[in-house]
A and B are shown apart, each in its own frame.
Chain A
Amino acid sequence: MAALLEVENLRTHFATRNGVVRAVDGLSFHVDAGETVAIVGESGCGKSVTSLSILRLVDQPPARIAGQIRFGGRNLAALGEAEMRDLRGNEIGMIFQEPMTSLNPLLTIGRQIAEPVMLHQGLDRVAARARALEMLTLVGIPAPERRLDDYPHQLSGGMRQRAMIAMALACNPKILVADEPTTALDVTIQAQIIDLMRDLQRRTGSAIILITHDLGVVAEMAARVVVMYAGRKVEEADVATIFTDPRHPYTRGLLGAVPRPGSRGTNTRLAEIPGSVPSLIKPLVGCAFAGRCPKAGDICRRAAPAWREVGPGHGAACHFAAGAA
């Protein structure tokens, strides 16, 4: 079976006053129907730009998107704006990081959830309202009939994120793009939202692209993981392999930086990755991670490593990927 969404050699560059920022530079991955794929990496590595590029929500110009985004036999990168609008919120839904500001403060929750339904499915106001009620019930908001006529400021952060999810799923999208859906929430609410998303995925069968830097969330939800660094994919594997047999030093660094229960009190210092993401304005020579890599050799500073398979469904872009952990 062909993949539901296939991103091939995606490149998104931004023209800025200081030069061209290569936010995403040659990213390829795919998502199967009903699958959850996590895209992880630290701030500034191109995760969010990837998600916005898939929905074509970056302004062109100043941005330029190249490459193939194949979805349902069409290349989204070359689609007309009107057709793209038909897809957004209909076949591809998206939820954002900030639930506090992602809802229009002057429209009721019900109106906002009904908007994509009226837009895409041509339902009238009454039918769309019924659908909104159904969605609010589905995402587990208590007393949904009353919440329908509430304004966003009357809801807590967790409730608003539930409302956002209801809005994104109202048209039964085939793919849900979730850009750091739990980052702005506190830990107990995070757990509830993750449970909710897993539960909804089981019921609706939609695929999820989960953008996050929280490896705990990845372990909970994802089937496959794409690790990004400096706008490129540095490693990809199923979730178990990523955690047990990471091949790229960056992936290892990310995993090493996660605090573990039990290590507390022994006074062990949390491992970190020294340095920060390189500037994406200057063209990169060699491996983007070389400056921060504990294993970097001469070759890493001279030539960028090609993608190579190291196991079934497991690949990495590192000169030393073949070596054991």
Chain B
Amino acid sequence: MTATAPDGEGFAIAPDLPPLIAEPPRRGRVATFVRRHPTIVLGAALLGLMVLIAVCAPWLGTGDPQALSPAKRIRAPSAEFWFGTDSLGRDVYSRVIYGARTSLLVGIVVALAATVAGVAVGLVSGFVRWLDPIVMRVIDGLMAIPSVLIAIALLGIARGSVVNVIVAITLAEFPRVARLVRGVVLSLREQPYVDAALACGSGGGRIMLRHILPNALDPIIVQATYIGASAVIAEAVLSFIGVGTPPTVPSWGNIMAEGRALWQVKPYIVFFPAVFLCITVLGVNLLGDGLRDMLDPRVAKRA
């Protein structure tokens, strides 16, 4: 194998071996990210599209989503009414596009509020030992109440509004975050670096916010996306059964509710909001799955 001839001065020269693996082609950072995390990119794209639609609703060829025109009731999709009209003659296309605002608003606000509340409760519960059993029993109790019941109770106290819907879903969802955070805190507080921080004189608050919370952030972010997705569905469910968003505010749930009576003869009234709902939830869930794969080192990495 050492075929290289000794040179004139009598030194033996080692042969130059070619690499076994061809140098991988260099890609830009964006291309690498897309290749590694296709689900994040796809999910973010779908969600981004929905956000764009919601933000640009007035400029997407929509009319007033509340405008009634009894003469043009229950029209099938046409060039004039892309998604048809409902039983009061309202333009379903305009209502679905404006409905995206309600659904996304509820999804995002609930995801944020439930995460913040859950993190606060979970951190304290996991860190303060004597408080833990008390807080966890209260959380158990909250988890036993379905969000529909909370929404109905709130509807009884105040008038139906988007805020009510947000509060009801948040109350139903935040215990899940609290439990997750508490579990993570319980394992993190036994980490040697927490002891080391204590040995340096750090107090409880500092330990929680500087040493435990940042290390618990990955599962919290993933959980927040799932909560966003389930909040969008929950809003639709509450509106569909009539305890959610008031009829004056279009949401995918109440558009479907209004189309329910006619769905066997005019299925498009239910169909279009349902498709938008599915795409949104799919996008958020894909994003959540992709984030989990990226942030959790235990999930096997594909090359």
Q: Which residues of A contact B (CB under 8 A)?
A: 55, 57, 59, 85-90, 93-94, 96-98, 101-107, 115-116, 119-120, 164, 167-168
Task: Using A57-B195, A59-B129, A96-B195 as known contacts, say yes or no to A105 and B215 having CB atoms under 8 A apart.
Answer: yes
Task: Using A104-B211, A106-B214, A106-B215 as known contacts, say yes or no to A94 and B199 having CB atoms under 8 A apart.
Answer: yes
- Look across to chain B and name the residue whose beta carbon is closest to the beta carbon of A103: B193
Task: Using A104-B211, A105-B215 as known contacts, say yes or no to A116 and B193 having CB atoms under 8 A apart.
Answer: no
List 16 interface pairs A-B (beta carbons < 8 Å), by A numbering.
Answer: A59-B129, A89-B202, A93-B200, A96-B195, A98-B192, A101-B192, A102-B193, A104-B197, A104-B215, A107-B210, A116-B202, A119-B200, A119-B201, A119-B202, A167-B200, A168-B200
- Are B197 and A87 within 8 A (Cβ)? no
Residues of B within 8 Å of A106, CB to CB, are 214-215
In the bound complex, CA of A134 to CA of B196 (Å): 20
Q: Which 8 A-B pairs have the closest CB atoms?
A: A89-B200, A89-B201, A88-B201, A94-B199, A116-B200, A102-B192, A101-B192, A104-B193
Residues of A within 8 Å of B141, CB to CB, are none
Task: Using A101-B191, A106-B214 as known contacts, say yes or no to A88 and B196 having CB atoms under 8 A apart.
Answer: no
Interface size on B, residues (CB 8 A): 18
Residues of A within 8 Å of B206, CB to CB, are 119
- Is residue B198 contacting chain A, with contact meaning CB distance below 8 A? yes
In the bound complex, CA of A134 to CA of B276 (Å): 60
Q: Which residues of B contact A (CB under 8 A)?
A: 129, 191-193, 195-203, 206, 210-211, 214-215
Residues of A within 8 Å of B191, CB to CB, are 101
Residues of B within 8 Å of A168, CB to CB, are 199-200
In the bound complex, CA of A101 to CA of B197 (Å): 12
Q: From DSSP, what is the main secondary structure of chain B's interface residues?
A: helix
- Are B129 and A115 within 8 A (Cβ)? no
Residues of A within 8 Å of B192, CB to CB, are 96-98, 101-102
Residues of A within 8 Å of B129, CB to CB, are 59
Residues of A within 8 Å of B199, CB to CB, are 55, 57, 88-89, 93-94, 96, 168
In the bound complex, CA of A260 to CA of B196 (Å): 35
A sample of 5 more A-B contacts (CB under 8 A), given A94-B199, A119-B202, is A57-B198, A96-B195, A98-B192, A102-B192, A119-B206
- Are B201 and A86 within 8 A (Cβ)? yes
Which of B191, B198, B199 counts the most A-chain CB atoms under 10 A from its CB?
A: B199
In the bound complex, CA of A168 to CA of B201 (Å): 10
- Look across to chain B and name the residue whose beta carbon is closest to the beta carbon of A52: B195
Residues of A within 8 Å of B198, CB to CB, are 57, 88
Measured between C-beta atoms, what is the minimum distance from B139 to chain A in Å?
Answer: 23
- Are A88 and B200 within 8 A (Cβ)? yes
In the bound complex, CA of A85 to CA of B197 (Å): 11
Residues of B within 8 Å of A164, CB to CB, are 196
- Look across to chain B and name the residue whose beta carbon is closest to the beta carbon of A84: B201
Measured between C-beta atoms, what is the minimum distance from B43 to chain A in Å?
Answer: 25
Measured between C-beta atoms, what is the minimum distance from B5 to chain A in Å?
Answer: 43
- Are B215 and A115 within 8 A (Cβ)? no
In the bound complex, CA of A293 to CA of B197 (Å): 41
Task: Using A59-B129, A104-B215, A106-B214 as known contacts, say yes or no to A120 and B196 having CB atoms under 8 A apart.
Answer: no
Measured between C-beta atoms, what is the minimum distance from B296 to chain A in Å?
Answer: 15
Residues of A within 8 Å of B202, CB to CB, are 85, 89, 115-116, 119
Within 8 Å by CB of A102, from B196, B201, B214, lies B196
Within 8 Å by CB of A115, from B195, B197, B214, lies B197
